[in-house]
A and B are shown apart, each in its own frame.
Chain A
Amino acid sequence: MFEIEVDGRKIQANEGETILTVLRREGVQVPTLCFMEGLLPSGACRMCVVEAEGMPALVPSCSYPAAAGMKLKTRSPKVLAARRTVLELLMANHPDDCLYCSRSGKCDLQNLSQEMGIRGRRFPATRTPQDADVSSPSIVRDPEKCVLCGKCVRVCEEIQGVSAIDFVGRGSRAHVGTAFDQGLNVSSCVNCGQCILACPTGALAERSYIDQVIAALADPSKTVVVQHAPAVSVTLAEEFGVKPGKDVDGQMVAALRRVGFKRVFDTSFTADLTIMEEGSELVHRVQTGGALPMLTSCSPGWIKFIEQFYPDLLPNVSTCKSPQQMMGALIKSFWAEREKIDPASIVSVSIMPCTAKKFECSREEMGRGGVADVDYVLTTRELGQLLRIFGVDVATIAPETADTPFGERTTAGKIFGASGGVMEAAVRTAHVLITGQEMGDLKIQPLRGQKGIKELHAKIGDLEVGAAVASGLANARKLLDEVRAGRKDLQFIEIMTCPGGCVGGGGQPIGTDQAKVRARMGALYQIDRDEASRVSHKNQHVQRLYQEFLGKPLGEKSHHLLHTHYQKREVLI
């Protein structure tokens, strides 16, 4: 602990802290563009410069360590002029189309420009025209709006361990691109969308399908149904300015009906179904000597990741489709039959916290006879947009419940939205499969929280159970490398692509950070605490579905509709 002087005020700092950390703790606002909480600083944007007495030049506070006796000025004319110039230079090569930009209102560049009171283009440079990359079903990249802060590159490499993109070229030609500047669709990109959340501008956005959904809703020859993922109801309110951690499940269901969807189904229902299928699959593998540890398959970014980087471990991946695709398959088979609707005239929309789901629904194997099981995927952000377009006010609408037969859910299905939730739900049901008895306390604390890797070693009946949970694909890499190296104490591994699981998904509201992820997780676990139905095997409608249609878990119908296969994927890695 030592003292430094900031703008004439004495404040305490600790060894090893950066100047920025100290300033933020003391309530001194310093603008940043390239700074990322929890990652090593890159010092690329120079927005955070401060003046340090005795130093020849301004220092970037994000990457400069605080030292005893330092005398800093954070708002001297020199500092303010430098920050302003940095912004004005960035804006010299930035389009002036905020009116049409998907990021308007949530753009760091726009906000900083407002905060600094910039009222004109000081450097009228000619802008470099660059083509947008619209090749991906999930993500659109517009390099003209890029400020080269490098956050997307770092998140892709350090958090996700994918490195699909990097800085390409030099000087005025430098840009962020894939290997050989190919389209994202043929790169190693797993479509997770974490780069979108990291991007300070509109250079990265989801590929939007709002127009297609609106057109379908207006088409009288179509039956448009919708499903919504467990993690959407606890984040949608943020799109309307409510602070994180509020669940608006009922209001969202009502709002979706108001928009015109014929049926509103809850993907948490198929999450419960996933537990029945995946649990049975695990037991089957243990009994028949199948590939272990079994790896979960709900997260489509993770699936593409393993197909590219660890194809040797594909036999370990559960053959279960994700809850989205199970629901999609059931809607266009069981439900279509029951309602006597031609599956080809059903438009199946899903609301997901995820950009990779857009890719998943377009996978060849996710449909039958040329009819895709899920037609369009909208992210939480796009749902916010859709509701604004339709003028539906989530705050005042009266809550409603989702439709039968896929509307009932247990809280086990709901906590799928948080990293560790699938495992917790699975252990609750596995306990019954193994011992014949319900667990005493259903809460499994070691599987909760925001740690990148969580493990559970417990005795269920006579069985030593080893389970691990990873979120963020760089963490998944660590676990997979251990498994490759011969680690044997794990039977089941849950992997979620995004840090914290779906509540931190790439389709969630802009401004997602670890504190918000914590609040959203809290909302899911609050639901689990408040409600009575907490184990997937007690979902009445799931049981009825087995009785009336599917037969039994891993049965022939299940195999046909709810399970799939994976293949090694050749991309430039």
Chain B
Amino acid sequence: MGTATTEKTKGAEGAEAIRAILEAHPGAGRDALIPVLQEVQEQQGFLSKEAVVQIGRHLKLPASKIYGVATFYNQFRFQPKGKYHIMLCRGTACHVKGSQRLLSSIVKLLNLQPGQTSRDRLFSLEVVACMGACGLAPVVSVNGEFYAKVTPRKLAEMIQECRQKERGDVSN
């Protein structure tokens, strides 16, 4: 019950924050959609259903249209980021160096598709086109920290480490 209340307060705060963003775009129409989506995601970490409805009311756009636009671009996500946000590079150099194998193993290890967050909110996965570190290919980053020349085995160890850290946190 405590959690429910927190979620509710969070929701109200979120709506307030989004309102502030929307107020900075008075009288905006559909051409303002992408900047607004970017600002809301920046603030909230993702685009919630409530946020999309709220944006739609302001810009006079149906939710389906906003969802359509947002899913066209890789940058928008619809679930909150996990405690460990994993970015996997699928750029050319990383592809040549075997990032497809990394992707399949991470999907299997975490039971997650790109764009999703695990149910315990611990991990989230994002696939990006290039991180500009091609010399280190294949590259994976966890919460902004880069890991070079990653192999599926190394990846499994990284995830294991995160989980161990979590267990430590809990026992502390």
Chain A residues near B (Cβ < 8 Å): 157, 162-170, 177-181, 187-188, 572-573
Contacts and interface: CB of A to CB of B under 8 A. Distances in A.
B71 A165 contact: no
Given A168-B68, A188-B63, A573-B53, 9 more contacts: A163-B65, A166-B64, A167-B68, A169-B72, A177-B64, A179-B67, A180-B52, A180-B67, A572-B63
Contacts of A164: 62, 64
Contacts of B10: none
B68 A573 contact: no
A170 B52 CA distance: 19
Contact of A573 (B56, B72, B73): B56
B49 A180 contact: yes
B84 interface: no
A474 to B, nearest CB: 13
Contact of B62 (A163, A167, A168, A170): A163
Using C-beta atoms within 8 Å of the partner chain, give the interface range for chain B.
10 to 19
Given A180-B78, A573-B56, A170 B72 contact: yes
Contacts of B67: 166, 168, 177-181
Contacts of B68: 166-168, 177
A167 B66 CA distance: 10
Given A180-B49, A573-B53, A573-B56, A166 B65 contact: yes
A572 B53 CA distance: 7
A178 B52 CA distance: 13
Interface of B: 49, 52-53, 56, 62-68, 71-73, 78
Given A180-B78, A188-B62, A573-B62, A169 B52 contact: no
Contacts of A188: 62-64
Contacts of B49: 179-180, 572
A165 B68 CA distance: 9
A101 B90 CA distance: 39
B72 A163 contact: no
A178 B72 contact: no
A163 B64 contact: yes
Contacts of B64: 163-166, 177-179, 187-188, 572
The DSSP consensus for interface residues of chain B is helix
A169 B69 CA distance: 8
B65 A572 contact: no
- Which of B53, B62, B66, B73 has the most C-beta atoms of chain A within 10 angstroms of its own C-beta? B62
A170 to B, nearest CB: 5
Given A178-B64, A179-B64, A169 B53 contact: no
19 contacts: A157-B62, A162-B62, A164-B62, A164-B64, A166-B67, A166-B68, A169-B72, A170-B72, A170-B73, A177-B64, A177-B67, A179-B52, A179-B63, A179-B67, A180-B49, A180-B63, A180-B67, A180-B78, A188-B62
Contact of A179 (B62, B72, B73): B62
B41 to A, nearest CB: 15
A177 B63 CA distance: 11
A44 to B, nearest CB: 14
Contacts of A177: 64, 67-68
Contacts of B52: 179-180, 572
B85 to A, nearest CB: 21
Contacts of A178: 64, 67
Contacts of B66: 179
Contacts of B56: 573
A170 B53 contact: no
Contacts of A179: 49, 52, 62-64, 66-67
A167 B78 CA distance: 17
A165 B65 CA distance: 8
Contacts of A162: 62
A187 B62 CA distance: 11
B139 to A, nearest CB: 23
Nearest to B78: A180
A314 to B, nearest CB: 19
Nearest to B65: A166
Contacts of A168: 67-68, 71
A522 to B, nearest CB: 36
B71 A169 contact: yes
- Which of B52, B56, B64, B72 has the most C-beta atoms of chain A within 10 angstroms of its own C-beta? B64
A277 to B, nearest CB: 35
A179 B62 CA distance: 9
B60 to A, nearest CB: 11
A169 B113 CA distance: 15
Nearest to B66: A179
A572 B62 CA distance: 8
Nearest to A163: B62
Nearest to B68: A166
A168 B53 CA distance: 17
Contacts of A166: 62, 64-65, 67-68
Contacts of A163: 62, 64-65
A572 B49 CA distance: 8
A165 B62 CA distance: 9
- Which of A168, A179, A188 has the most C-beta atoms of chain B within 10 angstroms of its own C-beta? A179
Nearest to B47: A180
- Which of A157, A162, A572 has the most C-beta atoms of chain B within 10 angstroms of its own C-beta? A572
10 smallest beta-carbon distances between A and B, as pairs: A163-B62, A179-B63, A166-B68, A166-B64, A179-B67, A572-B63, A179-B64, A170-B72, A169-B71, A168-B71
Contacts of A187: 64
Contacts of A180: 49, 52, 63, 67, 78
Nearest to A178: B64
Nearest to A179: B63
B52 to A, nearest CB: 7
Contacts of B73: 170
A352 B64 CA distance: 29
A168 B72 CA distance: 7
B53 to A, nearest CB: 6
A162 B49 CA distance: 18
Nearest to A173: B71
A177 B70 CA distance: 13
- Which of B49, B66, B68 has the most C-beta atoms of chain A within 10 angstroms of its own C-beta? B68
A165 B67 CA distance: 10
A170 B39 CA distance: 22
